[in-house]
């Protein structure tokens, strides 16, 4: 990594630390008092300057060139983990969230010891969703690619301008019955951090706008599971409340994929890592 890249990462890291520190009381309050869901989370707005966020958004390939196209009954979106083929600013903002100062501050505020970032960007990195794209209710894969560490935190930073509720593509955290979501609009310059565990069901509503919804994502991991027990599950999808047949298919699909992974003792989606850091 070049000195210039280090400088840019440090610049973004400084901005993140400053904003997180300014809002530390609100972050702790939100985390410990989740509304509309049992999944602990917090929402932080105005993370970077407007110019910085615009530069990040403009660096995304507007047609998703080079992104991996994920389409199934579970989801429809495009993702990228090999950041070397894009503007350095996309790699810089992604890895700023992995700066030790940022990681230590977030995990300290949330009182979660032993948490580590993931330089491999397993199933994280960049995502783009276009008109008609969606992400059905799901719980994330329990582990990293090597199945050595448990997934603990999901960090989502949204950068698309002029984004409002009416545009769709909004983040949703579900209640215990998976019948009512808490909707968090994917506003530009908004960071959402949520815990990941056996019951942290979340989704993205269908994109309505004819504009790409762009997101920078990271996962943090730990050697100890959220409930201190030993467990494993693949990313598991169900349908929305109005999609009972899709939920039935999801139950069958989740059971099959879980069984295969447990018998073969393998993780899933190992190609979705950054091999060119």
Helices (H), the chain: 3-22, 24-32, 50-59, 88-96, 100-109, 244-264
Domain assignments of the chain as residue spans, ordered by start: 3-264
Query: How high does pLDDT run on average in the chain?
Result: 92
Using the predicted structure, report yes or no on whether residue 250 has a pLDDT greater than 90.
Answer: no
Q: Which CATH code fits 3-264?
A: 2.60.120.620
Reading the block at residue 45, the tokens are 């707005």
Give the pLDDT band of residue 277 (cuts 50, 70, 90).
very low
Closest CA to 170 of 213, 227, 122: 213
Does the pLDDT value for residue 267 go beyond 70? Answer: no
Smallest CA-to-CA distance from 81 within 232, 224, 237, 218 is with 218
């Amino acid at each position: 990594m070049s000195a210039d890249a280090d400088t840019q990462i440090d610049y973004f890291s400084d901005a993140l630390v400053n904003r997180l520190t300014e809002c530390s009381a609100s972050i702790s309050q939100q985390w410990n008092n989740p509304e509309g869901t049992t999944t602990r989370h917090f929402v932080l707005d105005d993370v970077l300057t407007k110019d910085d966020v615009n530069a990040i958004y403009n660096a995304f390939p507007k047609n998703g060139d080079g992104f991996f196209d994920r389409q199934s009954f579970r989801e429809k979106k495009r993702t990228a983990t090999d950041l070397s083929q894009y503007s350095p600013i996309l790699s810089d903002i992604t890895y700023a969230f992995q700066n030790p100062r940022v990681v230590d501050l977030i995990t300290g505020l949330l009182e979660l010891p032993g948490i580590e970032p993931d330089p491999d960007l397993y199933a994280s990195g960049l995502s783009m969703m276009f008109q008609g794209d969606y992400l059905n209710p799901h719980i994330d894969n329990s582990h990293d690619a090597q199945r050595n560490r448990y997934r603990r935190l999901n960090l989502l930073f949204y950068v698309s301008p002029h984004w409002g509720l009416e545009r769709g593509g909004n983040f949703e955290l579900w209640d215990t019955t998976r019948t009512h979501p808490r909707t968090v609009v994917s506003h530009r310059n908004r960071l959402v951090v949520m815990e990941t565990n056996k019951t942290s069901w979340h989704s993205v509503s269908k994109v309505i706008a004819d504009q790409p919804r762009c997101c920078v994502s990271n996962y943090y991991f730990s050697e100890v599971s959220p409930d201190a027990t030993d467990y494993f599950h693949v990313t598991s999808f169900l349908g929305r409340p109005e999609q009972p047949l899709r939920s039935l298919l999801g139950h069958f699909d989740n059971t099959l994929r879980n069984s295969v992974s447990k018998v073969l003792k393998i993780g899933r989606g190992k190609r979705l890592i950054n091999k060119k850091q």
